[in-house]
Amino acid sequence: MSLTLSKQLFLICRFLWLFVLFSTMTSAKERKVIRFSGELISWESDGENSHFRFLDSTSLRERTILCDPETMSLSFSHKAKNNLYVEGKATQNSPTSDQWFCVGKPHVFQKYQVTSPAKQAQTKTIQGQVVEADPVFGQIVYLVWGRRFYLTINPTEAEIMAEELSKMKTVMIDGEYRYDRIKRYYVKD
């Protein structure tokens, strides 16, 4: 009994399909390796049960990772127990286990927040040479790198600047100016 060419190809394809199916199922049973990071809660670096606990930043759950005492002492010795974060890699004990072991040395660090002082709303840093000043309305024109900028300030200050300019003196403006909504001009801080 001979098989036709199409039946032979069908059987070969079916055999290959089964081979691919079973080979991917066996690879799924390997131990997982994950990256972890989060806020460090506590650690025990001595004895057989050396481990650390942290709040996982992705799942927001507490996790425990076991490490050998030597790695724990290298990573966690001389660390203050507040405001610490940990990141690294971990692997499962077995493909279906919920126990995790550290891979390599976990990185333990302290997060610092750097903030800049918040400027008030409508505050400008003004620095330049005044070339025109209107004492009636308080509007001045000043130059920065050859560009002209306009600013409305206190009319009495603008009057002093206008007098200095009429005497052919160099007038500079420099400082922090905040817009006063009631007066409707910029006031020097």
* CATH code for position 164: 2.40.50
User: Where would I find the beta strands (DSSP E) of the chain?
Assistant: 33-44, 51-56, 62-66, 84-92, 100-110, 123-133, 139-144, 147-152, 171-180, 185-188
Contacts (Cβ under 8 Å, ≥6 apart) of 33: 89, 90, 91, 103
Last residue of a domain, one of 55, 78, 110: 110
Q: What is the pLDDT of residue 82?
A: 74
Q: What is the pLDDT of residue 117?
A: 60
**pTM higher than 0.85, yes or no?**
no
Residue 118 covered by a domain:
no
Q: What is the pLDDT of residue 11?
A: 79
Cα→Cα distances 7→3, 11, 95, Å: 6, 6, 40
Nearest-5° Cα angle at 179, 178 to 180: 115
Tokens of 136: 């009636």
Q: Domain check: are 74 and 96 in the same one?
A: yes
- Total of domains in the chain: 2
Q: Domain check: are 89 and 38 in the same one?
A: yes
Residue 115 covered by a domain:
no
Q: What is the pLDDT of residue 61?
A: 87
Q: Domain check: are 128 and 68 in the same one?
A: no
Looking up tokens 């989060």, which residue turns up? Answer: 38
Contacts (Cβ under 8 Å, ≥6 apart) of 112: none
Q: Domain check: are 135 and 95 in the same one?
A: no
Q: What is the pLDDT of residue 21?
A: 67
Residue 156 covered by a domain:
yes
Residues of the chain under the 50 pLDDT cut: 26-27
Say which CATH number the domain at 97 has.
Answer: 2.40.50.140
Q: What is the pLDDT of residue 116?
A: 60
Q: What is the pLDDT of residue 172?
A: 92
Residue 7 covered by a domain:
no
Distance CA 66, CA 14 (A): 45
Residue 38 covered by a domain:
yes
Domain with 145 in it: 123-188
Q: What is the pLDDT of residue 83?
A: 78
Three-state DSSP state, 114: coil
Q: What is the pLDDT of residue 69?
A: 85
